[in-house]
Chain A
Amino acid sequence: MFDPTTVRKDFPVLDRTVHGRPLVYLNSAATSQKPRAVIEALVRFYETCNSNVHRGVDALSEEATDRFESARAKIARFVGADPRGLVFTRNATEALNLVAYSYARVRLGAGDILLSTQLEHHSNIVPWQLVAPEAGFEIRYVPITPEGELDLDAFEEIVATGRVKLFTVTAMSNVVGTIIDVSALAARVRAANDEAVVVVDGAQSVPHLPTDMLALDADFLAFSGHKMCGPTGIGCLAAKPELLEAMPPFLGGGEMIRDVTLEGTTFNDVPYKFEAGTPAFAEAVGLAAAVDYLNALGMDAVRAHEVAILERAIPALEALDGVTVHGPKDPARRGAALSFAIAGVHPHDVGTLMDREGVAVRAGHHCAKPLVRALGSAATTRASFYLYNTVEEINALCAAIETTKQFFLPDAGPGARSPGRGQ
């Protein structure tokens, strides 16, 4: 395992202060900070070989293309995908929209079920809803238990209909951290319908867990660069190349074509068929630098570090009066996105108070309203940890929670019950 205090030195922004206090950044589930290696990779690219890819015959363009394609191969290897199946998108959201538009819209129809879950981020709900009316398929959702786990009996019941033709699920919840045993669920879905495909939202899991598409038994895997130490504006859809080959394009334009006449167009090979227009090639090179950075630390070590953080953070939060942690309590079952509630204090007030203490958390519905509603609230406060967070920062979080409680509930001394809403 690595020493997070050493890792921190690689992230320039972690040196800064907020409202006169050292920054305690606990919002990596929203976006991660960037190591110097990634920032420098972007600068180096622009300073040394910037030119449009797959276009020119000049030396710069060749170098840029070479860097871009090397990045593709490296990123594909990072998740166990075939580079021919690695499509660059803007983010995981766009990757899921691609599958909705070019696969679900075309391949699913009346009588088919698209199965999603109540754990999902809006990006794994809304794209399917957009294409369902035209395609005529039905969307069902696996409900969750109060602990934030999937209700497997309900899953079984829906799958047993044999009508599930696409199953889409997050590998790790962005709100309650739950890790999903994707391959076990995928096996069930495939056993019930051999035409079914499995889509995995890896936006949270790829940055935090060792990932292998084959081990996940996924047909499609979507993830974002900016949550895994990479730049914004670059994400990926990793897919089985033969699936991509059979799919119609998502967006039209340059790069994705083989020949264009005024009467019609033939399309480029995969993955280029799905990369219309100038791609975010500098960002792709930046994301490859992020992959190098994560590989150097080792994804097993990243995971081990976060489990160690959770082993301390969960009991520390639960020991605080009036604080409830949402989601699984066993660190082995969850990632480092830790949502909690303070009885009697609204999450937005918690967020504002914590910010004054230098602690950056997220308050709200985390773009997962059906999930947050299932937890029985409209909003939660979420502290999310990553490879640069330390045990001292757990202490800072707990201290900020106590300050918040003191501010809003001054009468609720130690051991006192926190009041509900007053009348």
Chain B
Amino acid sequence: MSLDDLYMEMILDHYRNPRNRSSDLDGHDVHVHHSNPLCGDELDLRLRVADDTVDAVVYDGEGCSISMASASVMTQAVTGRDLADADDLTECFRLMLHGEGIKREEDLGDGVAFQGVAKFPVRVKCALLGWMALKDAITTYREGGAEHRVTHE
């Protein structure tokens, strides 16, 4: 497979023009910090919930194009979805990256651009970083928490 399959235009676009990238979010309910010590990626995610729905989600961080673009894509894909639905979509994204086929292709939106990453095992965790942070933020919210730090290996 060629390199261009990995870094498709869509991924590069999200990397160069990130959506919903911010170091703060008014009235956020949860803030999670996820890091990957292996590559040094750091990501902050803030989630605001209204009526059990993702009202707004922003991310900020330092990382490679794959991790940052994937977080950008994630914010677009889950905003407005109820929490259970966002959780389910996250699982679909994870399965796609593990080469287990694409479900809810339309809902994943630009996220489908990351399917080629499945062929680069060392980069899969980069692509998952933002999505795993969202999943953790939802869990933290449900458990009544407001802050959580997670280190991925």
Contact = CB atoms under 8 A, between A and B. Distances in A.
Most chain B CB within 10 A, of A352, A365, A369, A423, is at A352
Contact of B65 (A346, A356, A364, A365): A346
Interface in B1-58: 3, 6-7, 12, 15-18, 21-22, 37-42
B122 to A, nearest CB: 9
Given A346-B63, A369-B37, A378-B40, A408 B12 contact: yes
Contacts, number: 54
B148 interface: no
A349 interface: yes
A422 B16 contact: yes
Contacts of A2: none
Interface string B47-88: 000000000000000111110100000000000000000000
A377 B40 CA distance: 9
A379 B68 CA distance: 15
Given A346-B64, A408-B65, A423-B18, A378 B12 contact: no
B135 interface: no
Contacts of A363: 39
For chain B, which range describes its interface: under 10, 10 to 19, 20 to 34, or 35 or more residues?
20 to 34
A353 interface: yes
B38 A378 contact: no
Most chain B CB within 10 A, of A345, A346, A377, is at A346
Contact of B39 (A348, A356, A422, A423): A348
Given A348-B126, A422-B17, A422-B18, A356 B3 contact: yes
A372 interface: yes
Nearest to B72: A422
A365 B7 CA distance: 23
Contacts of B37: 365, 369
A365 B41 CA distance: 11
Interface in A362-398: 363-365, 369, 372, 377-379
A149 to B, nearest CB: 23
Contacts of A407: 3, 7
Most chain A CB within 10 A, of B7, B17, B40, B68, is at B40
Contacts of A365: 37, 39-40
Given A352-B6, A422-B21, 13 more contacts: A347-B64, A348-B123, A352-B3, A356-B3, A364-B39, A364-B40, A365-B37, A369-B40, A378-B42, A407-B3, A408-B15, A423-B18, A423-B22
The 3 closest A-B pairs by CB, nearest first: A378-B40, A346-B64, A348-B64
Interface of B: 3, 6-7, 12, 15-18, 21-22, 37-42, 62-66, 68, 120, 123, 126
